[in-house]
Structure 1
Amino acid sequence: MKITKIETLEIDLSGQNGLDLWRPIYVRIHTDEGISGMGEASLAYGTASEAIAPMIRILAERFLLGQDPNDTETLWEIMRQRSFWALGGGPVIFGAMSALDAALWDIKGRAAGLSVHRLLGAKTPAPLRCYASQLHFGWTDESLMLNDPAEFRETAQIARAEGYDCVKLCPVYVDANGERIRKRGVFTPAERKLARSRMEAVREGIGEECDIIIEWNSLTSTSGALQLADYFSDLNILFMEEPTHYNSPEAQIKVSRESSIPVGSDYIPDGDS
């Protein structure tokens, strides 16, 4: 089997259903045996999505065309070493490589008649616990930016009614006027009060039998994360995710050591993770 064609799919959903910036990038790899596979890059938001599709095409055309898609490990190392810059990592080049790698595994699974999790060693014992994520964007077909504490309560209750026993949300994504919060450092009394009221509304809405994860999205600095962690310490928070920038493990370690709330690290593909 040989790789014959690479196709990128750029889907710009920005501005639809309340979304600010959302541009998923997919790749489809075709083979001479009629089997194709798909993968997705991980930079649908932010300002890097425009760079992903060209990077996917460049890597595929230079290193994958004509190759056997079953040689996933070899092809990964070829892209990593011969591109030179992948040796230093980075979200654009690693995001492109990951999308191509996923498409190669998709081809391998289709050719073998097996799901990818079987190829990787079968599934883990069921059941796995799942949580309702990103509730500050709502929990319906339409993406929202929740503002009022009552909206947070109602949204959490919807997720709870669907059977989730854990929810994740960011209480500082927007300010009292619904505008994105873009700041570093400590929060003002008014900002703390608003964030607290949102978290209290969620806890009141779902009760004590449902866990809460705080999603910081790297929006907070070390001082701000520690300040709010202390402010929320009585709300029985399961853990808080990405309280500081993902490229600063020292800051995350500091927050982890000084906060009473456990810290969850990031999953951003920076090349060093």
Structure 2
Amino acid sequence: MKITSATVYHVKGQGLTPVIVELQTDAGITGLGEAAPSFGCGGSGAAGMIRDLCERFVVSRDARRINAIVAEMIDQAFWLRNPGGIAASALSAIETALWDIKARSLNLPVYDVFGGRLRDNLDYYANGWYFGAKSRAEVISKAEAAVRDGHRGLKMYPLARIRPNGTLRHPDNRFADDRTVVKDAIAFVRDMRAAIGPDVLLMLDLAGGLSHSDTILFCKGIEEYDISFVEEIIDPGDLGAMRQIAPHIQIPIATGERHHLINGFRDLLETRSVGILQPDIGNVGGFAEAFKVAALGEAYGLKVQPHVCASSLGASVGAHLSACIRNFYIQEHFPYWSTIPGYVEVANEPFESCARNGKLPVPEGPGFGVTLNDAVMEKYVVARLG
């Protein structure tokens, strides 16, 4: 089953700008994969790296030989040894598309290729429920509305600012010149917990935005508010700081979305400082690599919450991983993307609206169960190879 061509898309929407690769085969089977830079900067770089990798290592190859293709990319592309985010996300998108092809050729969901699903529905928490808020009071009102909509878990960003288009601006300069930020953030969490009540899960993401001493101070200040986890308490690569800070924090610590390949998680796990791993399939090296990371985390007694901030394609890919790993904890989910003016839905099967009764159903159908809306995607083609 020869890969005959590759199409790379970079969608220029609001809220998300997904980078997607579509691989076509001479058997008439196609596969889709998404790179992690669907948000933030780097989409153009990821799209370019996907193009370069496909041109040299993918087009004309046997699609069934996933391990051989991935191994050659890692060994011969040079920048995939200890990769940064752009190179790793390009590898991830291609590898994911290859598994989509493999599963479709067998007429199976991807999770069945990896041993079958362990669960039919996924617990999830909502992200993005704050879109459009202009103040903390409005954020709290939107949280109350999200709970009324049936979402049983929410993640908030107590340090972030909200841009006019409803997306977040992460902290600047660790708030070094703002002596009130920690107290204000603690009060924000207190008010949020009071608004949503005791039965809704509440997660916090700090995006590594505080100094180490302020991180400890903040986490001590929120202990009474029943926080499920606190995410990215430090810069992702500062393992020494993780060892230093973790003993002072009584809330489960989550991290992993900006770690690459299983090697990037090995040293993190050796710190014995993390309770919840968050590999991003579009960044860690692909679906099989995320599966390996979950297994490694299981050996350390850890939970896994796949990081998902992606299009309907990336969301479905994340759900397939969550379905087939033993130590799954909870799924990240963005049910409100379509409320952002200018948001572009890439798929014929939107994933964002499929939550029911506080659960996400595990996708069914061959591969990842996603097809692209060709009429929408045609204008976002940045490369065609083969």
TM range (shorter): 0.7 to 0.9
Work out which structure has the larger RCO, using CA pairs closer than 8 Å and 6 or more positions apart in sequence.
Answer: 2
TM score, norm. by length of structure 2: 0.62
C-alpha displacement at 1:196, in angstroms? 2.8
Match of 1:111 among 92, 98, 105: 105
Aligned residues of 1:184 and 1:224 also touching (Cα < 8 A): no
| Mapped pair 1:156 → 2:156 | no
AA matched with 1:184: R
| Mapped pair 1:172 → 2:159 | yes
Matched position secondary structure for 1:130: strand
Match of 1:60 among 50, 54, 66: 54
Aligned residues of 2:236 and 2:259 also touching (Cα < 8 A): no
Match of 1:30 among 24, 49, 54: 24
Matched position secondary structure for 1:66: coil
C-alpha displacement at 1:269, in angstroms? 4.0
Matched position secondary structure for 2:173: coil
Aligned equivalents of 1:30 and 1:163: distance in 2? 40
For each residue in 1:140-160, what CA deviation from the matched residue of structure 2 results, as whole angstroms up to 9, or x when unmatched?
A: xxx43x453322222222222
Matched position secondary structure for 1:261: coil
Partner of 1:181: 171
C-alpha displacement at 1:185, in angstroms? 6.0
Aligned residues of 2:35 and 2:89 also touching (Cα < 8 A): yes
Partner of 1:74: 68
| Mapped pair 1:209 → 2:172 | no
**Which shows bigger deviation, 124-133 or 206-215?**
124-133
Partner of 2:212: 222
Matched position secondary structure for 1:87: coil
| Mapped pair 1:50 → 2:53 | no
Aligned equivalents of 1:37 and 1:115: distance in 2? 12
Aligned equivalents of 1:88 and 1:245: distance in 2? 17
Matched position secondary structure for 2:9: strand
For each residue in 1:75-127, what CA deviation from the matched residue of structure 2 results, as whole angstroms up to 9, or x when unmatched?
A: 11111111122112221111001000111111111111111011111112344
Aligned residues of 1:185 and 1:223 also touching (Cα < 8 A): no
Match of 1:124 among 118, 124, 134: 118
AA matched with 1:95: S
AA matched with 1:246: P
Aligned residues of 2:170 and 2:207 also touching (Cα < 8 A): no
Compare CA radii of gyration and give the structure with the larger one: 1
Aligned equivalents of 1:3 and 1:216: distance in 2? 42
**Which shows bigger deviation, 77-86 or 226-235?**
226-235
**Which shows bigger deviation, 43-52 or 22-31?**
43-52
Partner of 2:5: 5
Identity percentage of aligned residues: 26
For each residue in 1:181-231, what CA deviation from the matched residue of structure 2 results, as whole angstroms up to 9, or x when unmatched?
A: 302266744323432332122111111112211111222332222121122
Aligned residues of 1:95 and 1:269 also touching (Cα < 8 A): no
Q: Alpha carbons of 1:12 and 1:5: their partners in 2 closer, same or farther (altered >3 Å)? A: same
Unaligned stretches of 5+ residues in structure 2: 266-386
TM score, norm. by length of structure 1: 0.87
Partner of 1:235: 225
Matched position secondary structure for 1:93: helix
Aligned length: 259
C-alpha displacement at 1:63, in angstroms? 0.8
**Which shows bigger deviation, 34-43 or 86-95?**
86-95
Aligned residues of 2:171 and 2:207 also touching (Cα < 8 A): no
Q: Alpha carbons of 1:96 and 1:5: their partners in 2 closer, same or farther (altered >3 Å)? A: same
Unaligned stretches of 5+ residues in structure 1: none
